[in-house]
Structure 1
Amino acid sequence: MMKEPTQKLVTVLGPTAVGKTKTSIELAKALNGEIISGDSMQIYRGMDIGTAKVTGDEMEGIPHYLINIKDPMERFSAAEFQTLATDLITDINRRGKVPIIAGGTGLYVKSVTHQYAFSEAKEDPEYRQKLEEIAEEEGPVQFHHRLETIDPKSYHVIHPNNVRRVIRALEVYYVTGEPLSASKDALPEHSPYNLVNIGLTMDREALYNRINKRVDLMMEDGLLEEAQRLYAAGVQECQSVQAIGYKEIYRLIENRVSFEDAVNELKLNSRRYAKRQLTWFRHQMEIDWFDMTTDRAEKIQKILQVVAGKLAEN
């Protein structure tokens, strides 16, 4: 019996505003590919401007998946993303096409590329709520230190700003008495896929300028009106609007900050997020990096050569 060939998978990763959407579409056109969004926020319907969601015209006829699949009041997890994306990867491969995950939510992407085995430990919603309150009081850095003695491995792997993941690690320890790193949540070292990770980077000043311009464009395109519609519809105190792009504008809607301060805060938080994304990807995944500051068309050709070469190796 012949062994089934290893499934192909390409990822296009990097910080916000670096050009992942356009690059992934160029790759998909050249490789007969289809795109799976790896963004934890583009799954929500009606949250288009603040998530920089790809438009129908921008897709250029390339199928895109895991966009607009949830209502803003619904929760979504890395485990659910993993299940949906894994099924899509299998289906796309079976049809002789190349699946491309494009996005910047590192944990979501790695949960798929390395088939993260999520803990089946029972949950304790009451204890989790208590942890959420403590995290709010202490701030992410101090709260993160709670992991240091009970689960040093997770302490070094989980970024302090990934508060939800820190909470989950503490919850697993509380419920099971075992650290998260010793549970089924441990990550395998190797991917089961014929995997090519492409990372896009850019000169920091150029990237920050792109982020600032993107925020200005979002405001011109109606981000405030989009957030007002969500707010008026009761989309408050839920996972979706804790995202950068909405929490700052909600503060404006609630008259807690001025328009100018809200926009500046959004720009600052977006720049900080880009920096965190780059740090995460560089420490967590083996990636072929490409600097997209200049000569973008030339870089796309080089990326295509790398991807085609690596996919042909297996």
Structure 2
Amino acid sequence: MYENPLLVIVGPTAVGKTALGIELAKRLGGEIISGDALQVYQGFDIGTAKVTEEERQEITHHFIDTLPPDASYSVADFKEQALKKIHDIHTAKKLPMIVGGTGLYIQSVVYPYEFTDQGSSPELRKRLEKEAERFGQEQLHQRLQAIDQEAAKRIHPNNVRRVIRALEIYEMTNETPTAQLRKQSTDYRFPTLLVGLTMERATLYQTINQRVEQMVEEGLFDEVKDLLDRGYKNTQAMQAIGYKEIVAYYDGECSKDESIAQLKKNTRRFAKRQLTWFRNKMDVTWFDVTDRPPTQEIANEILPLIAGKLTF
């Protein structure tokens, strides 16, 4: 009999992970840990498709609205906090469920992924930050690409903090972040079932476009304007897809329609990267939800799989 099981639901943005997670949590007595890098921030609601109180259907959700908009948050922070929360959920004799699309965050918990104690230098980090200010973030990203092409593909040039961290690791250890990732164990930390939702690409892209339009109707521009008015422009969270495109509009760099088009394009690209990550990095059992809602019907198909692999 397995003890301390973990259920993980992954997939690209807009595929229906939230709805499936809630459906399975109701049936299995689960508590949901958000595996999304942005839903942890207060005030970042519409652009992150944050689950509402009504949508939660009284299912306990963790790591939502726990940090102020200007806080820093890393994969190491998520790992430490998620492991503690999983222990608490197990102690309460309930099923912990990670639901989200931030691959590296989820990987850090599922596998015994250890972050190097080396590769940290405040002085070096400060120098790299000054270089980014002086020469531009693109130049730093090009330097990363020259030493670690895979990391450069994973990290967007606008995510200066992660680019700097990757360069810092390399300069301090003479080992690329990708090389360190490859040395990590692929044994599960807990008895784990990884379930993934996928969708035919054209349908997924159409769904993403519709979601962006819905976000705009729900007040995405007003949400970003409020955050800007409160002084949160130069924050980690504001560099994310769904926010940086709207900031560009308020900075006068593009029209409103252009910012919406760019947001759709960036989100589609992000969904493609998510699928590539999960297929290459994790042992996921996939369910296609192209022509069916990922709730009761899919849950019925997944339950026997859970019963066969997890006991709790």
TM-score (norm 1): 0.89
Alignment of 1:255-270 (within 5 A): 255-270=252-267
Alpha carbons 1:33, 1:100 under 8 Å: kept = yes
* CA-CA distance at 1:248 after TM superposition: 0.5
Query: In the alignment, which residue of structure 1 is the partner of 2:112?
Result: 115
Query: In the alignment, which residue of structure 1 is the partner of 2:155?
Result: 162
Equivalent position SS for 1:73: coil
Query: In the alignment, which residue of structure 2 is the partner of 1:308?
Result: 307
* CA-CA distance at 1:300 after TM superposition: 2.1
Equivalent position SS for 1:145: helix
Query: In the alignment, which residue of structure 1 is the partner of 2:21?
Result: 24
Query: In the alignment, which residue of structure 1 is the partner of 2:137?
Result: 136
Alignment of 1:6-21 (within 5 A): 6-21=3-18
Query: In the alignment, which residue of structure 2 is the partner of 1:217?
Result: 214
Distance 1:304 1:118 in 2: 34
Alpha carbons 1:116, 1:186 under 8 Å: kept = no
* CA-CA distance at 1:303 after TM superposition: 1.4
Cα distance change, pair 308–127 in 1 and its aligned pair in 2 (3 A): farther
Distance 1:118 1:27 in 2: 32
Alpha carbons 2:147, 2:176 under 8 Å: kept = no
Q: Look up the equivalent residue of 1:251 and give its one-letter code.
A: A
Single out whichever of 159-168 and 109-118 deviates more from structure 2: 159-168
Query: What is the CA deviation profile of residues 67-90 of structure 1, one whole-angstrom value per residue up to 9, with x for unaligned ones?
Result: 001111111000000011000111
* CA-CA distance at 1:167 after TM superposition: 3.7
Equivalent position SS for 2:58: coil
Cα distance change, pair 300–284 in 1 and its aligned pair in 2 (3 A): same
Equivalent position SS for 2:97: strand
Distance 1:176 1:66 in 2: 32
Alpha carbons 1:82, 1:111 under 8 Å: kept = yes
Q: Look up the equivalent residue of 1:19 and give its one-letter code.
A: G
Residue 67 (1) aligns with residue 69 (2): no
* CA-CA distance at 1:178 after TM superposition: 4.4
Distance 1:210 1:179 in 2: 36
TM-score (norm 2): 0.90
* CA-CA distance at 1:130 after TM superposition: 5.1
Alignment of 1:128-277 (within 5 A): 128-129=128-129, 132=132, 136-138=137-139, 140=141, 142-148=142-148, 155-156=149-150, 158=151, 160-163=153-156, 165=162, 167-180=164-177, 186-277=183-274
Cα distance change, pair 146–131 in 1 and its aligned pair in 2 (3 A): farther
Alpha carbons 1:160, 1:166 under 8 Å: kept = no
* CA-CA distance at 1:185 after TM superposition: 9.0
* CA-CA distance at 1:187 after TM superposition: 1.8
What runs of 5+ residues in structure 2 fail to find an aligned partner?
A: none
Alpha carbons 1:211, 1:271 under 8 Å: kept = yes
Query: In the alignment, which residue of structure 2 is the partner of 1:151?
Result: none
Residue 286 (1) aligns with residue 283 (2): yes
Single out whichever of 121-130 and 197-206 deviates more from structure 2: 121-130
Alpha carbons 1:201, 1:292 under 8 Å: kept = yes
Distance 1:223 1:199 in 2: 28
The size of the alignment, in residue pairs, is: 302
Alpha carbons 1:119, 1:185 under 8 Å: kept = no
* CA-CA distance at 1:128 after TM superposition: 3.6
Please report the RMSD computed on the Cα atoms of aligned residues, expressed in angstroms.
Answer: 2.2
Equivalent position SS for 1:286: coil
Distance 2:143 2:286 in 1: 33
Query: In the alignment, which residue of structure 2 is the partner of 1:152?
Result: none
Cα distance change, pair 132–276 in 1 and its aligned pair in 2 (3 A): farther
Equivalent position SS for 1:160: helix
Alpha carbons 2:197, 2:287 under 8 Å: kept = yes
Distance 1:304 1:281 in 2: 21
What runs of 5+ residues in structure 1 fail to find an aligned partner?
A: 149-154
Distance 1:135 1:41 in 2: 25
Distance 2:289 2:177 in 1: 37
Single out whichever of 225-234 and 184-193 deviates more from structure 2: 184-193
* CA-CA distance at 1:198 after TM superposition: 0.4
Distance 2:24 2:163 in 1: 35
* CA-CA distance at 1:183 after TM superposition: 5.9
Cα distance change, pair 232–178 in 1 and its aligned pair in 2 (3 A): same
